[in-house]
Amino acid sequence: MLLKKIISAVCVALLITMSTPVTQNSLTAADAAADNGFTAEEIEGSAVKPKLTVDSLELTPEEVREQKVYTINITVSDSMDKYTAVGIHVYWDSRLTIVPQDDDMIVKCGDAIEKLMINASPLENGFFAAAAATSESFTGTDGVMYSFDLRLPDDAAPGDKFDISIIYEEGKYADDLFTDFNNDSEGKLMQAWLFTKGITNGYISILPDTTTSTTTTTTTTTTTTATSTTTTTLISTATTTASSASSTTSSSSTTTSTSSATSASTTTSSASATTTVSTVPAAAKGDPNNDGLVDARDASLTLYLYADLSSSPRECTAEELQIYDANGNEKIEAVDASIMLFYYSEASSGYTGSFEQFLKEQGY
Ligand SMILES: [Ca+2]
Ligand SMILES: [Ca+2]
């Protein structure tokens, strides 16, 4: 399978270059609705309750003297075959430094997302990572999602603790994600559950000098849930107004531009088709699910269509080209999905332009 080959190649040949990291504060994080618009009661009733756990390491002073670099895993559980679109922000204590896996890779994707296409962008003291499935059947599983190596500072001392946290963020053109292929109500609730209740943040701590030598990986759900809630609230209070205003503007302009496209295409179609088509405005470039954002879900839909076109004799339509052909080469292929995922990563790590601007800047 050509498609499968491409996808796994993308996954293995991960990802991050060390260029232009941005700080958390420079993001236009706003209106951070980790609850995805649901009430606490609705979230509690979610059918799927996924968890993301960051490793917690407790090291002895002896261990730290001998070894400064430690691998941290982010593990997903209780979400077997449930998710197809992921976008998360990870931050660590500024005294820690990332150690690249290879020349330009700082994060490895784990077994849980080996069937997904992924991309990521560096942040100051962190990274943003996105994953997108090719279809409903190529889903993410339970297991290690990402791993990365962090170096302790030379002056790390007994009693020191270095936090490593997943923090939900929303920007003007990109929101964090953990949902299913159709982003249906089950997927939206699952995402809300994860970001409000399912995150267990981690740390590297150095035990006092007297203890015996053990390395343990612990998870303490109660403590970390409280931490993530606090952080989210902080972000949301900061910038609610700015973001909601701008997102309103962009969505209304989408509607306007697409209505003319719709009427043009309906002229040639039959009367019964007209009714259906005219109620659904055509999507903008890069936004096949037509929600005003270009993200991992759109990349998934693009891969899905690419697979569909590659395995059937039919040609893609002009309208499909308009929406899915990100690089404008008159073909819909995996690279178009990669560009959408790349944009999603960039927009989640400090880039503030629209998808159209991004394509222009990239020379497409
Ligand atoms: Ca979209
Ligand atoms: Ca293309």
What dihedral do alpha carbons 241, 349, 35, 247 form, nearest 10°? 40
Stretch 66-80: mean pLDDT, rounded?
A: 98
pLDDT of residue 281: 66
* pLDDT score, position 216: 52
Closest-approaching ligand to the CA atom of 335: 2
Q: Return the pLDDT at 138.
A: 85
Q: Is the pLDDT of residue 28 over 80?
A: no
% of the chain exceeding 90 in pLDDT: 56
pLDDT band per the 50, 70, 90 thresholds, residue 163: very high
Distance 331 CA to ligand 2 centre (A): 4
- Name the residue with tokens 């007297």: 210
Element (H, E) at 200: strand 199-200
Distance CA 227, CA 359 (A): 38
Rounded to 5 degrees, φ, ψ at 165 are -130, 145
**Residue 16 alpha carbon to ligand 1 centre in Å:** 23
- Cβ-Cβ contacts under 8 Å for 135 (sequence gap 6 or more): 181, 300, 303, 304, 307
73 C-alpha to ligand 1 centroid (Å): 29
pTM of the model: 0.69
Query: Lowest-pLDDT range, 132-136, 198-202, 257-261?
Result: 257-261
Contact at 8 Å (CB) between 109 and 14?
yes
How far is C-alpha 8 from the chain's CA centre? 18
Separation of 301 CA from ligand 1 center, angstroms?
Answer: 9
Residue 24 has pLDDT above 50, yes or no: no
Q: Which residues of 289-318 are buried (b: 16+ CB within 10 A; e: fewer)?
A: bbebbbbbbbbbbbbbbbbebeeeeeebee
Dist. CA 320 → ligand 2 center (Å): 11
Is the pLDDT assigned to residue 217 strictly greater than 80?
no
Would you state the pLDDT for residue 258?
34
Q: Are 161 and 56 in contact (CB under 8 A)?
A: no
Which domains are delineated in the chain?
2-240 (2.60.40.680), 245-358 (1.10.1330)
Higher pLDDT, 98 or 221: 98
Q: How far is the CA of 288 from the centre of ligand 1 (A)?
A: 6
Mean pLDDT score, 231-252: 33
Q: Give the number of the ligand closest to the Cα of residue 175.
A: 1
**Ligand located closest to 284 CA:** 1
pLDDT of residue 118: 84
Q: Which ligand is nearest to the CA of 316?
A: 2
Q: What is the pLDDT of residue 231?
A: 32
Q: Which ligand is nearest to the CA of 344?
A: 1
Tell me the per-residue pLDDT of 274-296, one tens digit each, with 9 for 90 and over: 333 344 567 899 999 999 999 99
**Lowest mean pLDDT, pick from 19-28, 73-82, 222-231, 327-336:** 222-231
**What pLDDT shows up at residue 86?**
94
Give the closest ligand to the alpha carbon of residue 333: 2
Measured in Å, residue 65 CA sits from the centre of ligand 1 at 49
Distance CA 356, CA 360 (A): 6
31-45: average pLDDT: 88
